[in-house]
Structure 1
Amino acid sequence: MNRKTVAVLPGDGIGPEVLDAALPVIEALGLPLDLEFGDIGWECWRAEGNPVPDRTWDLIGRSDAVLLGATTSKPRREALAELAPELRESAPQYLSPIIQLRQRLDLFANLRPVENYLGGGTPYRFCVVRENTEGLYAGLDWNHVPDGMWPLVAEHPNVRRSGRPGSTAGIRLQTSHGLDRILRFAFETARAHGHERVTLADKPNVLRQSSAYVLERLEAIAADYPEIPFEVLNVDAVALWMARRPERFGVIVAENMFGDILSDLGGGVMGGLGLAPSANIGEKGNYFEPVHGSAPAMAGRGRANPAAAFLTIGLMLEHLGLQDAAGSIQDAVRHVTRRRDRVTYDLGGSATTTEAAQAVLDACREVPQAPTAAIVTIGDELLRGDLEDSNAGNASRMLGERGVPVRVRHTIGDDEATIADAIRPSIGRDDVIVVMGGLGPTSDDVTRSAVARALARPLEHREEAWQGVVERLTRFGVAIHDDNRRQALFAEGADLLPNPNGTAWGCRAEAQGSTVVMLPGPPRECLPMLAAVLRDGLPHLPEPPEVTCVFRRTLGIIEADAAALVDELVRDSGVPVKPAYHWHYPYVDIRLGCPPEAADDLAGRLDAALADHLVTDRDRTAVQELAVLLDARGLVLDLDDRLTDGVFAAELARERDTSDGAGALGVALSGVRQGGDGTSYTGTIALTCTVRDTTGEPTAPHTGEHPHEHTYELTIPNRGPEVTTYCAQFAAWSLVRHLTGRHPKPMEESA
């Protein structure tokens, strides 16, 4: 393919930021485009008295497409005030760069695609085509009614009350030339992008005469596109249905003001202007621009959403005949926004502009992303607590072992609308959605219809499933009722999942890149079915990467401090790891899933960073660790444990295999409360555990007045009766460190 030239005009405000972030996609996809940068916007006006310099027009004239970041416009008085002093005296006329581009290049069509990039709910994909050159924005607008128009308006009752000095007027201009080319553009857009309908948004019930002429031109143009139906709707009705049922539209075409309003509404429907691209196409040129504007208050803060810039580049690539590359960008944005793991604040994330752009670039390069799952368990009995929801935990474990961690879990009662509402947000966002329960034959079993509702598909009878129900009931001598027929209803097009242990078959349906798996509730039925699906039924999921889990259990550090320390360690290591933290009094557990080749290095870094807090690298308590060491070395304790009133000794005895031993360790555990006491919980407890080895053999090289004695200290919050547990675990931890030769400095834990 011949190389094309793109004029890149970064413009003002956040325009340069979003283009800098998004333009690397051109190189990432290896596209035959040459980028030439030019000047436009407010700084050009301030320095030169012209927001679109002649050199920029020269660049536009020799380019195949124009990519615009954003421009700032201000009223005439402010514009003149910001001019360079030597230019201000000549008082040049300020004209918005956007207006200049549209007028000089005769850009009659504004195209605003609207798509469900965020996922969830019913899929929609439509566009708003806005006429740019006439309508109410034709420039026929007067501060006072001109002489020629006065006879037409003078008899209006409000004009008679206000008089000529108090009346203004504007004209909605529509011509056969302007109408025919925008209507033809709308039908061509529908044909090129597979839209099934063209909707004219007008106001024929009020603007009767001009709207009648628009309809006349619409019918004439539509005759050349017999395969594409059309309709005329009031613009206010279109706005309502865009918000309520956006999936009903294909191409919406409107005059300038109506199209302006509807196109921004489309941005709101899809999640905000940070996702909204636009194209302006004309007889003599084009330009492509993210809709969000220059947003000067956000400039330089790294918060702008680059998604609209990526999608705008995609529109430009379509125009240049690079449809496959455009599709790759759209798929990448769709993937990132539905995952929402690296998105900007406007989409609920915390990523910077650069980080969000990198996520899209990674998706374009097909850098693998970890799949995710959602689980929805159903039943009023689960909400009441009559039954434990063991299915959710077991399903989470099974999905995790398959390399599909669960992102969210819901427990829902037997209500169709609520079940559907729980499923919809995960469609298009999670790779697997597992729905369990509510597939029985009774009237309160509504999961089937809820899943169909979430998928926006009708229910259909599946004879294969019905015969399976009949065969099983007959085999066990159970009567067959008409209600059993419910168990043969499934969402249209779903793949059936036979149930070898019951009458309630399941199903699997694909929607927006998600696999929805519907299963019965009894564990002996649903869990084997889920195992079969994960083993055989999800070929689109990549094999999970090999991961080694580095686990450490810590004491004497709060979760926030541990997270801050470990997060920094992981960042510095450069290893792709997402740390997981679990606080269970008095411990903080840390898990790092990492590539096997990085595990040893990461474990060494972790041990060094947490040296004064490490208890074990196993899923054991300090008491359990101590029991293993005492049994292995044949030791007993000479214990002074008035602080826990025997709790420590009792817990240790439960964990030991024997109470015999040849050697002894003297242990004295004490605590000093600073505020509060054993019944009034406030302040802190300063714990001290002194260990004296009476075997006569040192456990590790050390120095001190007593060569076989060590004292361990820790201050903890006196938070409640559970501090007794903390004291016992601290004593055990002190003994473990003594026996393994780890003797840290005194520590203090904050509340």
Structure 2
Amino acid sequence: MQYKITLIPGDGIGPEVTNAAVKVIEAAGVNVEWDIVNAGAGVIEEAGTPLPEAVLESIRNNKIALKGPLTTPVGSGFRSVNVALRKEFDLYANVRPTKTFAGVENKFENIDLIIVRENTEDLYAGVEHMVGKDAAESIKIITREGSTRVVRYAFELARKQGRKKVTAVHKANIMKCSDGLFLECCRQVATEYPDIEFDDSIVDAMCMRLVQYPENYDVMVLPNLYGDIVSDLCAGLVGGMGMAPGANIGKDVAVFEPVHGSAPDIAGQNISNPLSTILSGVMMLRHLDEHEKADNIQTAVEAVLAEGKDVTPDLKGTASTDEMAEAIINKLK
């Protein structure tokens, strides 16, 4: 079967890591026609926007995309291409697995958890304004519909993957209306899944527990802001952002992307860790029910990491981005 998939190379190191992922996916035997479209800071001068209509049209047609990191202006200008894509296609669930790999230096073993982050509401809805000259106000939006569907997604994911527990993370002790509603929705949905254990935790306490006993957690579901912060914390537990894949899932469209940024300071040097993008590609293949090919890539990645020879500088190696991708391809062969 041939797939037509939108490919957005991205800014900074984006083209390097997406190129590596494309090579690995093709080497695994997946038949893909890549529909390459450009977005981000690099196209603003030519297109007048970081998110040209051609990008949106490609994703609408193909329903699935693999994208590199995009640069978001700080403080002013276009708010975020990533946020715009999530709103345009109602990509309501942001999924970020966190897993320890043999050969990657970290302080923990046996971490294998998934962050499911609500992706369209909360403070990231971007409803904010100035109050006079000296105060700014942001509105935290939590809805029953938005909370219920992302919590149900988390439970369905847990059931599909044979996981045992879902933990809701919140600050309902302080934000009794907004986070209180999120927690209420979690508790209601949990009653529909008696086969899966459910508990909840206040977000600050969860951050402490994650750096003490991360192996105790399985699937966590969080509102948008907490999910963003806690998923980055979890990436730090297993080797950094280069090890952190991600997916944005909607009803009809899915966009897969590395969690890390565009790292313009090392762009063009061919030293970026491509694993976050490659593992995002693995998630994409599982979404397409190409489980055998996804497993083969995962196994090849694990073998390269365990050997520790052909890895990039952030993993204490000397390999280039291309060399690490080639080592994974050789394991596939």
TM-score bucket of the superposed structures, by smaller chain: over 0.9
Q: Which residue number in structure 2 is paired with residue 381 of structure 1?
A: none
Q: Distance in 1 between matches of 2:174 and 2:160?
A: 33
Amino acid at match of 2:123: L
Q: Distance in 2 between matches of 1:168 and 1:19?
A: 38
Q: Which residue number in structure 1 is paired with residue 219 of structure 2?
A: 251
Deviation track 1:58-96 (CA, whole Å, cap 9, x = no partner) reads 22122141000121122476x6xxxxxxxxxxxxxx353
1:134 to 104, 116, 121: 121
Matched, 1:311 2:279: yes
Tell me the CA shift for residue 37 of structure 1: 1.2
Alignment of 1:256-655 (within 5 A): 256-365=224-333
Deviation track 1:110-147 (CA, whole Å, cap 9, x = no partner) reads 11000002458531210111111111222222221xxx
Specify the SS of the correspondent of 1:267.
helix
Normalised by the length of structure 1, the TM-score is 0.43
Of 123-132 and 205-214, the range deviating more from structure 2: 205-214
Matched, 1:114 2:98: yes
Q: Distance in 1 between matches of 2:110 and 2:173?
A: 31
Matched, 1:16 2:3: no
2:198 to 230, 248, 252: 230
Amino acid at match of 2:16: E
Amino acid at match of 1:116: T
CA contact 2:6–2:65 (8 Å) conserved in 1: yes
CA contact 1:201–1:253 (8 Å) conserved in 2: yes
Change (3 A) 1:223 1:360: same
Amino acid at match of 1:270: V
Amino acid at match of 1:97: V
**What runs of 5+ residues in structure 1 fail to find an aligned partner?**
80-93, 145-163, 366-751
Specify the SS of the correspondent of 2:319.
coil
Q: Which residue number in structure 1 is paired with residue 33 of structure 2?
A: 34
Change (3 A) 1:75 1:327: same
Q: Distance in 2 between matches of 1:111 and 1:47?
A: 33
Structure index of larger Rg: 1
Amino acid at match of 1:244: Q
CA contact 2:28–2:297 (8 Å) conserved in 1: no
Q: Which residue number in structure 2 is paired with residue 679 of structure 1?
A: none
Specify the SS of the correspondent of 1:11.
coil
Q: Which residue number in structure 2 is paired with residue 588 of structure 1?
A: none
Q: Distance in 2 between matches of 1:168 and 1:99?
A: 21
Q: Which residue number in structure 2 is paired with residue 61 of structure 1?
A: 60
Q: Which residue number in structure 2 is paired with residue 4 of structure 1?
A: 3
CA contact 1:117–1:333 (8 Å) conserved in 2: no
CA contact 1:118–1:271 (8 Å) conserved in 2: no
Alignment of 1:581-730 (within 5 A): none
Specify the SS of the correspondent of 2:248.
strand
2:80 to 63, 81, 96: 96
Q: Which residue number in structure 2 is paired with residue 744 of structure 1?
A: none
Amino acid at match of 1:137: Y
CA contact 2:143–2:181 (8 Å) conserved in 1: no
Specify the SS of the correspondent of 1:117.
coil
CA contact 2:97–2:244 (8 Å) conserved in 1: yes
Tell me the CA shift for residue 270 of structure 1: 1.0
Q: Distance in 1 between matches of 2:288 and 2:40?
A: 25
Tell me the CA shift for residue 216 of structure 1: 2.2
Amino acid at match of 2:194: P
Tell me the CA shift for residue 165 of structure 1: 5.5
Change (3 A) 1:166 1:41: closer
